[in-house]
Amino acid sequence: MTRRAVLKEEEKDTIRYTSCGFHCFDQCILKVRIRGGRIVSVEPDDTLNPGVIREGEHLDEELLSPSVRQFRPCPKGYSMARDIYDPKRVIYPMKRVGKRGEGKFERISWDEALDTISEKLVEIKEKYGPYSIMHHPYSYMSMCSFPLAQWFGAGISGWSAHSDCGFHEPQKWVYGRDLMEGLKRWGQFELTQDAPNIFKSNLIVLWGFNPMAMMDSRTNHNLIQAKERGIPIISIESRYTPSVEVLADQWIPIRPTTDAAMMIAMANVWFKEGLCDKEFIDKWVEPNGVKQWEAYVLGTQDGIDKSPGWAEEICGVPAETIEAFARLYAKSKPVNLDIALSLGRQFYGENPARASMYLQALTGNTMIPGGTAAAEIGLWWGRKGGSMPYVDWKQQPGSYNPPVLLTMYKWAKAIDLREKLDKGEISKEKYNNMIGNAADNPAPNIQMVILESNNHVNNLPGMSQSISAMKKTTFNLVFTQYEDMPSARYADILLPQIYSAFEGRNGGAGSHWPLFTTTINLGSHFVYRQKCVDPPGEVKPNDWIWTQIAKRLGLAEKFNPRMAHVAEEDWEETVEGLYKEAYEKWASKDAIAALNPPDWEEFQKKPVFRFPMEGEPYYPFKYRVEGGENPFEGTDSGKIEFYSETISKGAEYLEKHEVPPGSGKCYGGGNLPPMAEMTKGGRDTFYSEDVKKYPLLMSSPHSYYRIHSWLDNNPLLKDDCYRHAVWMSVSDAKSRGIKDNDYVRVYNDIGEMEVPAYVTSRIVPGTVAIYHGGWYVPGEKKTDLMPDGIDSRGAPNLLIHDADLPHTIVGSFPCKGLVQIEKREEG
């Protein structure tokens, strides 16, 4: 076919715009080309600067503004449309016909599915009480995600976010506020920064942070621009990652879980050589705490000088490298320190989280242009954005307020241990402690698990416990695209999951994916997700599903009054009309009207609205500094605190109190030190007794080709494109007689898998890595440890224990485990 013929054919195509929206938070704009009712291509955004090359020296300051730049999708955004047409996709409601875990289902009608779900909700609530139903998509800020909870009178809330509580809580101890505080007050994350803030830095440090694999395009684009401007970038990481290869001027390899030791040794150099920013410390840092930490660092308390030589023995970084890096850091103000959340996802992860904040405070980098608060990975969403249209669904308030009864990722432990509680083998106080519940709270009795828009059986640590829990409940409901998705295999009812980016109006009451989408704090634009194609079979929007269940329970008039009586054939048109109403109401506001927004019909041609982004880039606490406010008024001293009086009260106090009072958070009484230390302990560290049997420390980093486990089965993102294997150093492989691509047995006391080995010099010896999110695929070989079958794909959470007890913060799940590896026996 000639190029002219191709172009002529393309002229007949329908073009729609949508956004990706799968957990990297940037909402990249997708241009979708449709031919004959099918998506034939997903292309980059052309709503801004079409045909303008982004790379090159011609870029001026205007084009570096967030509001006038394209942010192009990653391979995940381009490839996900392939999933729509997967022949294995679930396109009808299905019910289980075999045992849970066998993955045997048969097609049923929507009426049967909805009737069964409604009946089970009523039955389980009546038999087991209101704390027996757990709905699990994503849970932040102690909220209950069960859409019908407040009207149905059942459901539980959980505290924490799965990713970042290892940082959020230390933020409160050190700064007196966490990432979310500014979001509630100003609509922006005040501890973070605007991407262009890095151009004011003299040094960028990526500590455990691999943005090329896990962050949005603007993060990486800005880092590349910074590198081209000559700003040095240093990466501290246990693997030679794509980010190290593309961005870094220097790679400092470090052993996982030992970051606090290196940070402490850097401070040791500063204290001894007078390299701290005394003016900033005197003004903003509580003096007694910093003196106590200095005494710890210099060893005047315990006689152990925490020097670079001391740290070298722990973290494997040469003392000379630590010394040189510490001096460079202290003399390079402003320093942009970007810390990976993975540092908080480990035993005593609160220590490196706090120590990173100390480093910035000691050098005066906490709240200056070009600096960071070291409180989050380069989550560059600091600036206040504009407003966005929201549909008023006119939901009526309910009377039930779901109590906070656990930390969310402990749901499987709550189910698995409930039998021991009922038999009197453990006390209620002990049970609550083990699931992150306050001692005096009622104990949950989870009998119905609803998994929507997630694969939590696969994606949380202690996967074998999650599988065990799913086999013990009374009823499991899973929304899914695939019946062989690991979580789906343990469902009683499967409901087909819509693809929100392409397939229609999944944006109403009860939906977690509205049609207007943007970056988390709005950034510089929002997108209206246009419907691109009809979903196959009998796939329905989630908000339609929840409304039909609400009807059966007599709750529809309260839950979704504007859609309660809308016929199915009119559903999409009605939802579209409500979004039009919301847009027009938003556009009529004086502040928005001054920006000349297009009318609805014109907006639909290219449904992206961009706000002008003016002024200097945002840096941490910028609005408070400019407003003359004290950024640290939330601490007891009103200053940055190195020493926490609350934690110093000890395990007995923490065991018996919610911290802070009324939060529902129970830290569990662990022996966390009141200031950042290098604590040697924990099951999944080099200091565990288990290291004698399982000498390799496995990490589970995020993959460039997946969002958690989503897209692991996408044919465009596997095989020739991506080899899912266990990373091994050359020395570790050679000592075991293993060569590249050999099949190996990876195992410990809770799980086992057989996967290929990737033998490489790109990883620190003594450590291995398996990318997070690989699906658990049971093989034919079964053991007592793996009764459903030894994993043949590589799901690392099979090898990662639940958090240790006594635990400190249990909100952020661990991502490391000790393992042994041997060459697989043939036959």
Question: For the segment 589-611, what is each residue's pLDDT rounded down to a tens digit?
Answer: 999 999 999 999 999 999 999 88
Helix (H) or strand (E) holding 825: none
Query: CA 756, 758, 763, 766 torsion: positive or negative?
Result: positive
Q: What confidence category does residue 476 fall into, taking pLDDT thresholds of 50, 70 and 90?
A: very high
DSSP 251: E
The residue among 381 and 343 whose pLDDT is bigger is: 343
Candidate from 26-30, 377-381, 448-452, 572-576 with smallest mean pLDDT: 377-381
Q: How far apart are CA 672 and CA 689, in angstroms?
A: 20
Phi, psi (degrees; rounded to nearest 5) at 60: -100, 180
pLDDT at position 590, please?
94
Rounded to a whole number of angstroms, the distance between the first and last alpha carbons of the chain is: 50
pLDDT at position 610, please?
86
Contacts of 486 (CB under 8 A, 6+ apart): 455, 457, 458, 709, 775, 776, 795
Question: For the segment 622-658, what is each residue's pLDDT rounded down to a tens digit?
Answer: 888 888 989 998 898 999 999 988 778 776 676 666 5
Mean pLDDT of 792-809: 77
pLDDT at position 313, please?
97
Q: How far apart are CA 35 and CA 231, in angstroms?
A: 46
Question: C-alpha angle 230/233/239, rounded to 5°?
Answer: 145
Instruction: Say yes or no to pLDDT of 439 above 90.
Output: no
Q: How far apart are CA 347 and CA 810, in angstroms?
A: 10
Phi, psi (degrees; rounded to nearest 5) at 308: -55, -35
Q: How far apart are CA 426 and CA 419, in angstroms?
A: 9
Q: Are 34 and 532 in contact (CB under 8 A)?
A: yes
Q: Are 404 and 411 in contact (CB under 8 A)?
A: no
Instruction: Give me the chain's average pLDDT, please.
Output: 87
Contacts of 356 (CB under 8 A, 6+ apart): 207, 263, 337, 339, 343, 374, 375
pLDDT at position 221, please?
81
pLDDT at position 7, please?
64
Q: What dihedral angle (degrees, nearest 10) is formed by the CA atoms of 404, 406, 411, 413?
A: -160
Question: For the segment 150-159, what is each residue's pLDDT rounded down to a tens digit?
Answer: 999 999 988 7
pLDDT at position 293, please?
98
pLDDT at position 697, please?
96
Question: For the segment 265-308, what is each residue's pLDDT rounded down to a tens digit?
Answer: 999 999 999 999 999 999 999 999 999 999 999 999 899 999 99
CATH 3.40.228.10 fits 165-383+619-656, yes or no: yes
Residue 826 CB-half CA count within 13 A = 1
CATH code for 689-823? 2.40.40.20
Q: How far apart are CA 697 and CA 371, in angstroms?
A: 33
Q: Are 334 and 797 in contact (CB under 8 A)?
A: no
Which string of b and e fits 695-730 if b means at least 16 CB within 10 Å? ebbbbbbbbbbbbbbbbbbbebbeeeebebbbbbbe
Q: Are 728 and 759 in contact (CB under 8 A)?
A: yes
Residue 459: count of CB within 10 angstroms of its CB: 22
Percent of the chain with pLDDT over 70: 85
The residue among 343 and 37 whose pLDDT is bigger is: 37
DSSP, residue by residue, 560-587: -TTTTT--GGGHHHHHHHHHHHHHHHHH
Question: For the segment 526-569, what is each residue's pLDDT rounded down to a tens digit?
Answer: 889 999 999 999 999 999 999 999 999 999 999 999 999 999 99
pLDDT at position 186, please?
46
Q: What strand order describes the sheet that includes 516-518?
A: 516-518, 525-528, 608-610
pLDDT at position 521, please?
47
Name residue 310's amino acid: W
DSSP 609: E
Mean pLDDT of 326-344: 93
Q: How far apart are CA 412 and CA 410, in angstroms?
A: 6
Q: What confidence category does residue 812 fall into, taking pLDDT thresholds of 50, 70 and 90?
A: low
Copy the structure tokens of residue 703: 């993959």
pLDDT at position 67, please?
61
DSSP 664: -
pLDDT at position 23, please?
64
Number of H helices, E strands in the chain: 28, 24
Instruction: Say yes or no to pLDDT of 417 above 80.
Output: yes
Query: CA 391, 139, 478, 476 torsion: positive or negative?
Result: negative
Q: What confidence category does residue 139 fall into, taking pLDDT thresholds of 50, 70 and 90?
A: very low
Overall residue count recorded for the chain in this entry: 827
Instruction: Say yes or no to pLDDT of 509 above 50.
Output: yes
Instruction: Say yes or no to pLDDT of 615 above 90.
Output: no
Q: What CATH class does 88-159+403-497 carry?
A: alpha beta
Question: For the segment 692-702, what is each residue's pLDDT rounded down to a tens digit?
Answer: 999 999 999 98
Is the bond into 660 cis (omega within 30 degrees of 0)?
A: yes
Copy the structure tokens of residue 267: 């401070």
Mean pLDDT of 7-24: 80
Q: What CATH class does 12-85+500-538+560-612 carry?
A: alpha beta
3-state secondary structure (DSSP) of residue 645: helix
Question: For the segment 729-777, what is each residue's pLDDT rounded down to a tens digit?
Answer: 999 999 999 999 999 999 999 999 999 999 999 999 999 999 999 999 9
Residue 827 CB-half CA count within 13 A = 0
Residues carrying CATH 3.30.200.210, the chain: 12-85+500-538+560-612
Mean pLDDT of 695-712: 89
3-state secondary structure (DSSP) of residue 40: strand
Residues carrying CATH 3.40.50.740, the chain: 88-159+403-497
Mean pLDDT of 672-677: 87
Instruction: Say yes or no to pLDDT of 169 above 60.
Output: yes
Task: Name the range with the highest mean pLDDT among 44-58, 92-106, 797-811.
Answer: 92-106
Residue 11: count of CB within 10 angstroms of its CB: 6
